[in-house]
Amino acid sequence: MNTLVNYLVVLAVAALLLGPSLYGMARERRIDRQLREAAAGRSQPKARRAQKSSSRSTVPSTATW
């Protein structure tokens, strides 16, 4: 039983040490891919549309202080 606990502790420490660097590597690869696509002139896969504020017309407020 002691061996199992020691094994789990080693795995937890390894995950804590390797997790942030693996996440950073994945993030860097994504950014590099986006830069290559932009340099090649391709459009972004998730193009955002112009945001509309509202379909109703706005009325000035009549509140006074």
Neighbours of 37 (CB within 10 A): 13
Residues 9, 17: contact at Cβ < 8 Å?
no
Q: What is the mean pLDDT of residues 36-46?
A: 76
Which pLDDT band, with edges at 50, 70 and 90, does 1 fall under? confident
What's the pLDDT score for residue 26? 95
- Name residue 53's amino acid: S
- What pTM was estimated for this model as a whole? 0.48
